[in-house]
Every structure is written in structure tokens, then in C-alpha cells.
Amino acid sequence: MVGLVALFLALLVATDGADSGFVAWSVTVGVAAFAALWRGRRRSGRGRLVALLPVLVAAALTLSVCVPTVPTTRNPPPALPFVTAEHWRLSTGSRVAVYHYPPTGNGPRRSAPLVYLNGGPVRGISVLDHRFLQRLAGQGHDVYAYEQAGGGRSDLLPMGQYAITRSVHDLGAFIGRLGKGRADVLGFSSGAVVLTRALADPAMADRLHRAVIAEPGPMDGPSARMPEQKGRPSARDIAPAMTGPRSTHVPRYAVAFGLMRLGLLDPDNGLVGQAEGVNAFTAADLGSDTASAYCARDAHRIPVEDTAENFSFSAAASLRIQQTIKDSPALAPRLSHSRTPAMLMIAECSSQVRQWQTAVLADNPAVRRTQYLPGVGHHMWNGLDDNDRRAAAVITAFLQDRPAPLPDYPKRADIPAFLRDHK
């Protein structure tokens, strides 16, 4: 049975999961049945049945990898009760879900709209993030957010169209469709990568007023291959396991996502289609990644970031975008010409590689200030203590060109010591 399962997995890889895995399954069962009958040709009728028993068990086990357990057409999340999602068709062809939080409160209104790019890369905006956007609107910002193509309530793209360059062009198209002149942009995690790459494109940078680069991932191939150094300890290995259903407990999705993660199956494979993969993936599947976004001291009070109904993540599309970043040439020569005022935000307990963050600081001369936020992990606005207030104060102070609430640290000259001291 072990040999037959191994053969099936090898054939899955060789056929790239063709026909929902049934090509690999049919060949495996056919070869196994022939071999069992050949070995049992001199046995009695009962002996032949015994020889076939491992084949039947292996056939049942491998068949479970070929049968979908969730719908194979996209089921977008239901509407949120506190904000209406509009759908905009961008000039790039992407159809994205858009959320608008008009400015509230008694403070001064910002003239430039604030566009939020969430992390993922292809993930819906969490309820926790929506609450933070409402806070920014309460400080006078006219906040717009959109879920990048394939994420949340936005339409899927053909798998071959997902790329970091497409994400950057979608940002430019969104600001153009907004029609309010140059925009302030807050990019978080992979959204910060999109923003960083936009700053390196003169045509794109002309559409940006100010840029807040929060906890960026790798911006290009060279930075993706840098030595990995993390911040202060996160809660990754000490937080209680997330509760709830996991797609990785279902053989079909455990095999599909596992082989994709190992690079053995192409994201655009024939085993699990994009829509089915999005429907199957759950928040619990990201358990360790979620824990890594919080400080070790917060391990036993990690908030619920999202509802099961609102959660959406496309593992296949995200892997494809990440690969296009790894395959891209050095961004530093182009980024060195950036003139758009920018701020870099770094978390104390960041799970992101420090060199990804310091590379942005070193290569972008327009980074005017760096804000190192103590006591928070990668998800800097998380509803705990006064973390949301502090993050909002840092962002608002920069966008309104007011003095920074925290020291400007690290500066470019501080980078070697910052890395050496494992800050």
C-alpha cells in the first residue's frame, strides 16, 4: 500500500494533477491491479482476493485525493454588516471589491485620499483591519481599500495573470479610477511590497502623494535571497493551536497544498482549481503564520483577526505572486531615484526578515523617517492594549507632516548596528 501511494503521488507530480488527479489514480490502480493479479495467478480464488486487498485499500485512500469536498466554483464571502463593498472594473481588467470609509470626527480633513493595501498577497481584508481603517477615518482620513484581484470579494484572475507587476499596475489603475489626484498609500506586508515597487516606477510614483511602508516582505529576487534575521521572539511556537476546521486535515487539500508549497505542483495545476482552493482554505490553516504576527508575550491572548465567513485566502495565487518577486531583478537601481516622501514602519517582534526592511531603508533615499514600534509583532494594529492608537498616531503624524511620536530609528547609518544587535 505504501508503494502504491508513493506511485500515485509521483504520478500526480508527473501529470501536474491532471483531471483532478484521476489520471494518476487510474494509472496507479491499473498497474496495481495487474501486478496483484499476476502475483496471485497460481493462488486459489481466496488467495487472489487477499492479494487484491492492498490494492483496494490503496485505491480508496488515493481516491480521496481526487474527490472535491467543497464547491469548485467561487463562493465569495457574504456582505459585511458595517460597510458596503462596491465592485470596480479597473483599466487593467481586474474587477476588485472596494471599501470606503469617509472622514469622521472633528479634526481637520486630509485633502489626499488614503488607499490601504492589505497583506496576503491574495487575501481578503480582515475584520481587524477594517476596524483599524475606521479608526484612521475617525482621524480625518478619506480611506479607500480594495481587495487585490483574487482576494476576498474581488474576482479571480486566470492563474497565469497573477504577478507582482500586475499588482502594481492595479494600484495605479485604482488611483486613476479614484479620480482624486495623488493619493497617500498605506501598504502592509505584501501590500508594502506592491507599494515599494510602485515607488520605483516613475509613472506610478507620480500618482502617489506619500507612502507608508509597513512591515514589508522581500521586494525583489536579491532581497528574497538575503540571510534571514528576525526581530524579537514571536508567538509562533508557543501560542495555543487555532481552533476550527482545517483544509489540511482533508487528504485532497493536504496533498494539493503540500505539493504546491514544496514546488512540486504548479499553482495552476489540474488537481485543485483556483476557486476550489480558495473555498477550501480556512483561517486555521494559517495558524502558525497568524501566531508569528504577535509577540511571544501575547501568545495566550492572540485576538480573532477575522470571521470564518469573511476569511478568504488563495494559496495558489499567493505562491505564484511570491515566485514572480523571487524571479525579478534587483529593484535598488530604480528605487534609488524615488522622490515620493515615504515612511518605514518596523515592529519589534517582527516575523519578517529584518534585511527585507532595512533594504527598503537603504535603497530608497526618499524614506524620511523610520518608526520602530515596541511591543508589537508583524500585525502592528491588532486590537490589543493601545496598539491601534499608537499605529494610527504614527501614520497620521507622517501623512500630516507633523513631528513623529517615536524616535526616527533606525536611520540608514544605524542599519549595521540594528542588525548586529538583533533588534
- Residue 330 burial class via C-beta count within 10 angstroms: exposed 0-12, middle 13-18, buried 19 and up: middle
How many Cβ atoms sit within 10 Å of the Cβ of residue 412?
14
Handedness of CA 30, 36, 40, 46 (dihedral sign): negative
How many Cβ atoms sit within 10 Å of the Cβ of residue 238?
12
How many Cβ atoms sit within 10 Å of the Cβ of residue 416?
11
Ranges assigned E (strand) in 75-179: 86-89, 95-101, 114-117, 143-147
What pLDDT does residue 287 have? 77
Give CA–CA dist 279/343, Å, rounded.
36
Measured in whole angstroms, the distance separating CA 255 from the mean position of its chain's CA atoms is 20
DSSP notation for 319-368: HHHHHHHHTSPP-HHHHTT--S-EEEEEEEE--S-HHHHHHHHHH-TTEE
Cα–Cα nearest to 189, from 281, 110, 95, 126: 126
What pLDDT does residue 43 have? 64
Give CA–CA dist 267/321, Å, rounded.
10
The length of the chain in residues reads: 423
Give CA–CA dist 85/97, Å, rounded.
6
What pLDDT does residue 59 have? 87
Under DSSP, the state recorded for 179 is: T
Whether omega for the bond prior to residue 202 falls within 30 degrees of 0, making it cis, is no
- Which element (helix H / strand E) includes 371? strand 367-377
Question: What strands lie across the sheet with 86-89, from one edge to the other?
Answer: 86-89, 95-101, 143-147, 114-117, 183-188, 208-214, 342-349, 367-377
C-alpha cell at 261: 508549497
What pLDDT does residue 44 have? 63
- The upper half-sphere exposure of residue 37, i.e. CA atoms within 13 Å in the direction of its Cβ, equals 6
How many Cβ atoms sit within 10 Å of the Cβ of residue 229?
15
In 3-state terms, what secondary structure has residue 406? Answer: coil
C-alpha cell at 52: 487484491
Handedness of CA 12, 16, 21, 27 (dihedral sign): negative
C-alpha cell at 106: 472633528
Under DSSP, the state recorded for 313 is: B
- Residue 367 burial class via C-beta count within 10 angstroms: exposed 0-12, middle 13-18, buried 19 and up: buried
Within 216-273, where are the H helices? 221-224, 251-261
Domain residues of the chain, as ranges? Answer: 2-63, 86-245+286-420
Give CA–CA dist 278/75, Å, rounded.
9
Cα–Cα nearest to 216, from 207, 208, 226, 206: 226
User: Residue-wise pLDDT tens for the chain (423 aa)?
Assistant: 788 889 999 999 999 999 999 999 999 988 888 877 777 666 665 656 666 777 888 888 899 999 999 999 999 999 999 999 999 999 999 999 999 999 997 777 888 999 999 999 999 999 999 999 999 999 999 999 999 999 999 999 999 999 999 999 999 999 999 999 999 999 999 999 999 999 999 999 999 999 999 999 999 999 999 988 889 999 998 999 888 899 989 999 999 999 999 999 999 999 999 999 999 999 999 878 999 999 999 999 999 999 999 999 999 999 999 999 999 999 999 999 999 999 999 999 999 999 999 999 999 999 999 999 999 999 999 999 999 999 999 999 999 999 999 999 999 999 999 999 888
Beta strands 114-117 and 183-188 are parallel
| Architecture of the domain whose range is 86-245+286-420 | 3-Layer(aba) Sandwich (3.40)
- The separation between the first and the last C-alpha atoms of the chain, rounded to the nearest angstrom, is 51
What pLDDT does residue 50 have? 66
Beta strands 95-101 and 143-147 are antiparallel
What pLDDT does residue 220 have? 97
C-alpha cell at 158: 486566470
What pLDDT does residue 46 have? 62
Model confidence pLDDT, tens digit, residues 32-73: 888 777 776 666 656 566 667 778 888 888 999 999 999 999
Q: Are 8 and 24 in contact (CB under 8 A)?
A: yes
